[in-house]
Amino acid sequence: MSRFRRPTEDHPLTRWLLTLIALGFVGLFLILPLVEVFKEALGEGLEAALTAIKEPESLAAIRLTLIAAAIAVPLNAVFGAAAAWAIAKFDFAGKSFLVTLIDLPFSVSPVVSGLIYVLVFGLQGWLGPWLAEHDIKIVFALPGIVLATIFVTFPFVARELIPLMTDQGRDEEEAAVSLGASGWATFRRVTLPNIKWGLLYGILLCNARAMGEFGAVSVVSGHIRGLTETMPLHIEALYNDYNYAAAFAVAALLALLALVTLALKSLLEWRFADELAASRTH
Amino acid sequence: MTLSIQKIRKRFGTFAALDDVSFDVPDGTFLALLGPSGSGKTTLLRILGGLEQADLGHVAFAGLDWLMLPARERRAGFVFQHYALFKHMTVAKNIAFGLDVRPARQRPSRAEIARRVDELLALVQLEGLGGRYPSQLSGGQRQRVALARALAIEPRMLLLDEPFGALDAKVRKELRVWLRGLHDRLGLTTVFVTHDQEEALALGDRVAVMNKGRIEQLAAPADLIARPATPFVSEFLEDVRPQARATNIVALR
């Protein structure tokens, strides 16, 4: 019995080939390296890996990474939502310029953005002398690391929300206001429920990047072991010391954090699939 | 008491959306704003609802300096063309919204709100559908929910922006008759925007024909047909005139 192909259907060979290429690519460039990281980390057993992670300098790096992400991500969630709100719901002069500006961290090399902070806040920088006089440390300290992280991860939430909020228009907000809702009540009861999935997705991406950021943080941190090294910086330092086992142990932990983030996202998408679909149809 | 609109002007950039619009209609009037797109009818409605600011002009209504009131204090029940229902809320929650967001001291009790929601559901003939979500309703049902939601705040006036524009012809006609009946029962001043001549003539006590940001003529439907004041009105109503005479819209009032 012969089977007819639909006019829009590709030749089976094409499908197989494309699928194979896609899978091969993902396997070679995404999965294989990840597997390799975990293999190296656990090469000398789980015990050895845990010992490496429990080193005080490693623990300090983990703590610093989590603190920086814990400050940067909520701030960027608020900034991102505010920027997206302004861009999507209001018309004002310089709007397209603002949109371009939001993308700036994506287009500028992280190293350059790190250098900007050193130039502004560093000892030889514009504000350096004043800051030194008042004993405020920004560069080579936590504030600098947080600032660099915020800069690099700023676009994630805003980028996620702008198209979503633009698409949703202002109708529901206008309805809420005409029904007597205050600005805050409108945001909390109408806008936020409509954007919560996009917001959550943006926050997860932002978090993954905030924990993994290397370039910008590397420039402003000063690489002081146990003090200003985040996990990515610490991994590099261990690696350069030929301490491969420890480097891979911390790298595996960092990768694990990212994987947990992704798993969380998938879980939420699966758990709330109905609601997600409902909020997308009008 | 009247709805008195005086010298309203509104520009968008260099485009004059409203150019010196003035008129008075008695309280309780069903006023239809009729005109082609870009004639300024929706802009006028949005100014009355507080969703747009007039550049100049004055509106007196219900003894209030209407345009000085913030939108959320006007209690103008606004019904949008595309319903603008809150997608993530049930029908009952949608209708209760205007009561739920009141400050604690003015908010009715939960039982009272539930009672009012049931009353309004009965009024718009959607009994038993309070637990549904808007996506589970037909277009005509959604628009009736939107109307119930607007009525929940005990509006001082009702503002309808092409409320039947997104519905098919049959549902549109049914809702039209029903809406007119509702208006007569409630006695609210209602402003209704449409580009459909037949709809405006069938529904309005008064019809304001608008063109290029100005009122061409404001009159009862019968007068518009019999005595068009300008060539624009005459031309704009040309298609419906024989129909209007045949069905004798005039005699319906």
What digits encode the pLDDT tens for the residues A55-89?
A: 899 999 999 999 999 999 999 999 999 999 989 88
pLDDT at B5: 94
A10 or A187, which is more confident: A187
Whether the pLDDT of residue A9 is over 80: the answer is: no
Give the residue from chain A lying closest to B79, CA to CA.
Answer: A175
CB contact under 8 A, A190 and B86: yes
pLDDT at A197: 86
* For range A30-37, the mean pLDDT: 89
CA of B83 to nearest chain A CA: how many angstroms apart?
8
Give the residue from chain B lying closest to A181, CA to CA.
Answer: B101
Q: B237 is written with which tokens?
A: 């109503």
Q: Which residues contact A53 (CB under 8 A, 6 or more apart)?
A: A59, A62, A249, A250, A253
Please list every residue in chain B whose beta carbon sits closer than 8 Å to the beta carbon of residue A174: 51, 78, 80, 84
CB contact under 8 A, A193 and B88: yes
Q: Is B35 on the interface with A (CB under 8 A)?
A: no
- Tokens 């008195």, residue located: B4
B189-227 pLDDT, tens digit each: 999 999 999 999 999 999 999 999 999 999 999 999 999
Strands (E), chain B: 2-12, 15-26, 30-34, 56-61, 64-65, 76-79, 157-161, 189-194, 206-211, 214-219
- Mean pLDDT score of chain A: 87
Q: Is B107 on the interface with A (CB under 8 A)?
A: no
- State the helix-helix crossing angle for B91-100 and B139-152, rounded to 10 degrees: 20
Please list every residue in chain B whose beta carbon sits closer than 8 Å to the beta carbon of residue A275: 88
Write the ipTM.
0.89
CB contact under 8 A, A171 and B49: no
pTM (2 decimals)? 0.80
Q: Which of B71, B77, B133 sits opposite A177 (nearest CB)?
A: B71
Collapsing DSSP to helix, strand or coil, A25 comes out as: helix
Q: Is B115 on the interface with A (CB under 8 A)?
A: no
Q: What is the pLDDT along chain B (253 residues), one digit of tens a residue?
A: 789 999 999 999 889 999 999 999 999 999 999 999 989 999 999 999 999 999 999 999 988 999 999 999 999 999 999 999 999 999 999 999 999 999 989 999 999 999 999 999 999 999 999 999 999 999 999 999 999 999 999 999 999 999 988 788 888 888 898 899 999 998 899 999 999 999 999 999 999 999 999 999 999 999 999 999 999 999 999 877 666 665 555 444 4
CA of B233 to nearest chain A CA: how many angstroms apart?
32
Sign of the Cα torsion A189, A193, A196, A198 reads: negative
Give the residue from chain A lying closest to B98, CA to CA.
Answer: A179
Q: Which of A177, A178, A191 to mutate to test the interface with B (most CBs of B within 10 A)?
A: A178
Q: B50 is written with which tokens?
A: 């507080």
pLDDT at B252: 45
CB contact under 8 A, B71 and A179: no
Band (A281; pLDDT cuts 50, 70, 90):
very low
Which residue in A84, A72, A99 sits closest to A167, CA to CA? A84
% of chain A residues with pLDDT over 70: 95
**DSSP symbol at B239:** G
A174-228 pLDDT, tens digit each: 999 999 999 899 999 999 999 988 898 899 989 989 998 998 999 888 888 888 8
Q: What share of chain B is helix, strand, coil (3-state, %, to 5)?
A: 45, 25, 30
Lowest mean pLDDT among A119-133, A145-159, A258-272, B90-104: A119-133
